[in-house]
Amino acid sequence: MGMKIFLNGEFVDRSEAKISVFDHGLLYGDGVFEGIRSYNRRVFRLREHIDRLYEGARYIRLDIQMEKKVLEDKIIEALKLNDLSDAYIRVVVTRGEGDLGLDPRKCGKPTIFIIADKIKLYPEELYIKGMPITIAGTRRNHPASIDPRIKSLNYLNNILARIEAIDAGVEEALMMSIDGNVVECTGDNIFVVKDDKLMTPPSEMGALKGVTQGVVMEIASEMELSAEHRVMTPEDVLFSDECFLTGTAAEIIPVVSIDGNVIGSGKPGKITMRLIKAYHELTLKEGVAY
């Protein structure tokens, strides 16, 4: 059986999952999305992701026109129809079909689609040996321009920085704020460990408030490790004891160098590895079963 995709109220074959060229999600990146994971037939942190989706939509004045519970049920149905035990779910809501102008009032109803599939973001060896990254010259959007709470369809800022990573021969790039402080990587939040304390930049710097980032803070608290949001400079990262990235797709991945400068011992740190183990254990026992 081929992949089934939810599109505007019904499940269709992948080849039939089509939207209009006049959709404002395509024309202007006008919309919001979420990436969600399921493990062992349990959807991890489903409500947190759905809440963030609706919050972002509300901020850009986009009425999803579907109750949260209905959307959650459709996500579960997508997983069942595609017989996926461990999956990555992409939920997308666009402004919908309009005309060639910017006016959102011309878009009658939103386009909603759900894709349930597999994802492998980084090579397995990087989770074992750690990942080198670069610092991008492309600065992160200023929070006064694009609120960091919005996981919008316009990812060009991130993509330009990811191109810099590719040019540097690495998988990720660290993005700075306009005034040179650490914000996040192109697709992941960043943490450092210094003197057994965890630190991650606050969303006010322009970083997306990550669901996985929040889970790591919870796990750290249970481990009686100090964890806080703090404004950080590139030097704070370079001279930290450990560094790692977090994201729904990436999970937790160690970072061992930046632009060739070694962080800590140059290997994944002990606290990072403890967090990875605890995170994996949590994903297998917590979540919405299907």
The residues annotated with a catalytic role in the active site are 151
Strand (E) positions, 66-181? 87-94, 111-117, 131-135, 172-176
d(CA 221, CA 226): 7
Report the alpha-carbon distance of residue 134 to residue 173 in Å, rounded: 5
Please check whether residue 64 is in contact with residue 110, taking contact to mean a CB–CB distance below 8 angstroms: yes
Q: How far is CA 166 from CA 133, 159, 173, in A?
A: 10, 10, 9
Distance CA 71, CA 15 (A): 22
Pairing of strands 182-185, 189-194: unpaired
Using an 8 Å Cβ cutoff, are 203 and 148 in contact? yes
Element (DSSP H or E) covering residue 234:
helix 234-238
Could you tell me how many residues make up the chain?
290
Name the H helices within 130-203. Answer: 156-167
Contact, 140 vs 157, CB < 8 A?
yes
Cβ density class 179-210: b for 16+ within 10 Å, e for less: eebbbbbbbbbbbbbbeebbbbbebebbbbbb
The β-bridge partners of 152 are: 32
**Closest Cα to residue 274, out of 221, 237, 220?**
220
C-alpha neighbours within 13 Å on the C-beta side of residue 145: 10
